[in-house]
Amino acid sequence: MEVKKCARDLRPVSSAGAVTRNRRGSSCCSVRRRVGGFLNTCQDAGMARNRRPVPKEQKRDELLAAAAQLLVLDGYEATSMSRLAQYAGVAPNTLYWYFRDKDELLVAVADRYFQALLHEHASLADRPLAEQFRWLIERLRPVKHLVATVHNRVAVSESVREWHTGFHRSFEDLFERQLANPLAAEHRTAEFAAATFVLEGAITHSIDEATTDQLCKITADRLHRAAETKMNAT
């Protein structure tokens, strides 16, 4: 049996594709399917140990794919730079040629995933806002630990805080374009903050499908009413 390395406890998997599951029942393969196409640069359950020179961008993509697996499976604290280097099959110093520190690596992983999310969302632009919220929740629930990690690092990392602020602005602009009118400037921040808190709660907590649908509808209706209020006021 060919032995390869799997994230979390680096347990072996067979070359036939049978993945040894960890005690939580997760597997690298199932996580890779859930978190999106950019993880496909990984080979099977681990990174390629190819020592031949590769272009810088390709190597960066490989490191991001390895980091995404470890961050999603094991979390931020358990993913040290030295452990990532071992998992990716590179020398520890190699990571610092591409990323200044672990927070910059976290930002790069999150940005890669969310940029892919924004690209995929473009096909939903004509759907009702409640359906778009529902779609967003479904896409983010598999990586809820990554979402929680970003939030936890906002208070202590300037690079994470800067990225997080820009990410929220992007989605606020995106969803505001679905409204009949822009929100009133004096209420915009509060309205989108309320919507964000509701959606993030649905992402990070175990909520049944019917309740999730209701939350999406209520949140969308609230934003539509806020836009209509501004229109009537003018």
> H helices within 36-99, ranges in order?
56-74, 81-88, 92-98
Residues 34 and 82 in one domain: yes
Mean pLDDT for 107-132 is 90
Q: Same domain, yes or no, for 133 and 223?
A: yes
Is residue 185 within a helix (H) or strand (E), and if so which, with residue range?
helix 185-204
Are 54 and 75 in contact by the 8 Å Cβ rule? The answer is no
Using the structure block, give the residue that is written with the tokens 């919507």: 195
Distance CA 96, CA 80 (A): 13
Of the listed ranges 29-33, 41-45, 145-149, 190-194, the least confidently predicted one is 41-45
Answer yes or no: is pLDDT of 16 > 90: no
Do 56 and 124 lie in a common domain? no
Same domain, yes or no: 57 and 131: no
Residue 220 token pair: 């969308």
**Are 40 and 112 within one domain?**
no
pLDDT recorded at residue 5: 44
Helix axes 102-121, 158-176, angle to 10 degrees: 10
Q: Domain residues for 152?
A: 103-233
Q: What is the pLDDT of residue 176?
A: 86
The residue-averaged pLDDT of 40-56 equals 51
Residue 3 lies in a domain: no
Same domain for 214 and 118: yes
Selected residue with higher pLDDT from 65 and 8: 65
**Maximal C-alpha separation, the chain:** 72
Tell me, what's the pLDDT at 3? 37
Residue for token digits 């690596």? 105
Same domain, 130 and 51: no
Provide the number of structural domains found in the chain.
2
Q: Which pTM does this prediction carry?
A: 0.73
